[in-house]
Amino acid sequence: MNYNWNWWIFFEPSLDGTNTYLTTLFWGLGWTIATALCAFAIALVLGSVVGVGRTAPSPWMQRSATTFVEIFRNIPLLVQMFLWYFVLPEILPRDAGMWMKQLPNAQFYTAVICLGCYHAARVAEVVRAGLESLSKGQKMAGQALGLTLPQTYAYVLLPMAYRIVVPAITSEFLSCTKNTSVALAIGLMELTGAARAMQENSFQIFEAFTAATTLYLALNLVIVFAMRAVEGLAVVPGYGNRRNAVKGR
Amino acid sequence: MLTGFDLQTVINALPYLFFTGMSFTLTLTVLSTIGGILFGTMLAIMRLSRYRAMSAMAAGYVNVLRSLPLVLVIFWFYFLVPFLAQWLTGASSPVRVDPFWSSVITFTLFEACYFCEIVRSGIQSLPKGQSLASQALGMTERQTMIYVVLPQAMRNMLPLFLTQTIILFQDTSLVYVLSITDFLGAAAKIAQRDGRLLEMYVFAAAVYFVISLLASHAARRLQKRVAIIR
């Protein structure tokens, strides 16, 4: 291969003049982590609501929850990103649209909301699978004790379901972290975007992508180890075994 | 709200969207699914092999690619493939590779990791007695795999293959980052040329939605039909 390797490129100043390429990559990593955390917070809250909605006895709740899941699962993430970023400001009233377009860090907020909704649909399926894996007796026992349905969910069903699906939530969070890279299409300078910019400006293709790859692998390892600890804490003693925990995609 | 929706733009763009864009997307999806399943099955067999080095190699490949975002992998291969082709063919300079084939290679190699995990769990979910019985009948390991294990595992895995293909179909939209004219790329080009972002993106979303929804219903029906009753 006749390719000019130059690993010192990381310490040369990038096009913005002040930072080295290495610094821009770490800024990218920072944006990746921030986007993933914020988006996943939304996904967990919204996903739980929708997941509960899918198992609720009321038909309209079931139907609207199903619609939500189908919409956000069946449109490619990149297209959703464009819808939030380019189309939403045009649909809204003129003033609101202008305000959205001029927001500082608009790409970041858009990416967070878009990824949040996208993963909420997936988290909803995980939560639903967890709720459905519980035996019917749990719900009946809760209601026999005089709890209302919301109370049964809050104090009996959800605490169990969450602990069962922790491994699936882990893999959801991993895929959320990876999916932040799609936001480079709307101009968010996350890790892949930073590596791409470095490659375009310095022509050191493989150094840039090697660095990004290393950082992603490291991030992945950190998440896996952190979540393994959480999984250990969350195991319900005596309830099945860890192998049987619900696997989701 | 949607009063300004200009349907005519969409209608005028239809031939371009479908004949240029969608045909690219579908060919890419089909070729990479076939390639991905073949290579993925190979990886799965390697992963389950008793030779340590082989299973470690396959596991390493699958785990590394699965922890990278697809966008990054697309960039990697887009730049790497010309150099690899040069190395393989012994040419004097990096070979220009057609973006289509570059994406087919990328998606085959990337999705193979996910197909590998599906096949592996399919093989592992078969009762051990199946392979023990065929070995008791005097079959070699290879025969056991080809005539007994894989046919049953594949049947169990068919719905999951279809689900993964739907994911692949949606993932192909990411070739947009290389400015390739797939379905989304075509829609984006028209959108920017005519200044009709709203119409084109909403239409693209609707098309993806309908195709994926129909396919996932088909996957669900398939699941009921192919289930082996034990």
Of the partner residues A2, A86, A196, the one whose CB lies closest to the CB of residue B201: A86
pLDDT attached to residue B4: 66
Q: Quote the tokens at residue A162.
A: 């969450």
Between chain A and chain B, the number of residue pairs with CB atoms below 8 A apart is: 103
Residues 158-187 of A with CB under 8 A from B: 174, 178-182, 184-185
Residues 151-180 of B with CB under 8 A from A: 170-171, 173-174, 176-177
- Nearest-neighbour CA in chain B from A66: distance (Å): 12
Domains of chain A in sequence order: 33-244 (1.10.3720.10)
Task: Quickly count helices (H) and strands (E) in chain A.
Answer: 11, 0
pLDDT attached to residue A245: 47
pLDDT attached to residue B20: 87
Identify the three-state secondary structure at position B139: coil
H-type alpha helices, B98-149:
99-125, 128-136, 141-143
Show the low-confidence residues of chain B (pLDDT under 70).
1-4, 228-230
Q: In whole angstroms, what separates CA B83 from the centre of its chain?
A: 23
Distances in Å between the alpha carbon of A91 and those of A104, A147, A241, B111?
Answer: 20, 44, 50, 36
Distances in Å between the alpha carbon of A42 and those of A115, A186, A223?
Answer: 9, 20, 18
Nearest CA in chain B to A179: B69
pLDDT attached to residue A2: 66
A96-133 residue pLDDT tens: 888 877 888 889 999 999 999 999 999 999 999 999 99
Nearest CA in chain A to B185: A79
Nearest by Cα to B69 from B230, B155, B177: B177
Q: What band does A249 get if pLDDT is binned at 50, 70 and 90?
A: very low
pLDDT attached to residue B1: 45
Q: What is the mean pLDDT of residues A174-197?
A: 92
Q: Rounded to an integer, what distance in angstroms lies between the CA atom of residue B13 and that of residue B35?
A: 32
Q: Does B202 touch chain A (CB under 8 A)?
A: yes
| Residues of B in Cβ contact (< 8 Å) with A91 | 1-2, 198
- Nearest-neighbour CA in chain A from B212: distance (Å): 5
Which residues 6+ apart lie within 8 Å of B68 measured at CB? Answer: A178, A213, A216, A217
A39-93 residue pLDDT tens: 999 999 999 999 999 998 899 999 999 999 999 999 999 999 999 998 888 888 8
Which residues 6+ apart lie within 8 Å of B33 measured at CB? Answer: B111, B161, B164, B165, B168
Question: Where is average pLDDT lowest: A32-36, A191-195, A202-206, B60-64?
Answer: A202-206
| Residues of A in Cβ contact (< 8 Å) with B184 | 76, 78-79
Chain-chain contact of A195 with B76 (C-beta, under 8 angstroms): no
Of the partner residues B70, B177, B204, the one whose CB lies closest to the CB of residue A185: B177
CATH number for the domain running over B2-226: 1.10.3720.10
Instruction: Name the pTM for this structure.
Output: 0.89
pLDDT attached to residue B229: 62
Instruction: Tell me which residue has tokens 């049947």.
Output: B155
Element (H, E) at A96: helix A94-102
Instruction: Tell me which residue has tokens 């605490």.
Output: A159
On whether the CB atoms of residues A192 and A213 are closer than 8 A, the answer is: no
Q: Quote the tokens at residue A233.
A: 């804490």
Distances in Å between the alpha carbon of A30 and those of A27, A37, A189, A215, A216?
Answer: 5, 11, 10, 11, 12
Q: Does B49 touch chain A (CB under 8 A)?
A: no
| Residues of A in Cβ contact (< 8 Å) with B177 | 184-185
Chain-chain contact of B208 with A216 (C-beta, under 8 angstroms): no
Q: What band does A6 get if pLDDT is binned at 50, 70 and 90?
A: confident
Q: Does A93 touch chain B (CB under 8 A)?
A: no
B49 backbone dihedrals φ, ψ, rounded to 5°: -70, 155
Q: Quote the tokens at residue B177.
A: 């980052």
A13 backbone dihedrals φ, ψ, rounded to 5°: -65, 140
Residues 60-79 of A with CB under 8 A from B: 70-71, 73-79
Which residues 6+ apart lie within 8 Å of B174 measured at CB? Answer: A76, A78, A182, B70, B71, B74
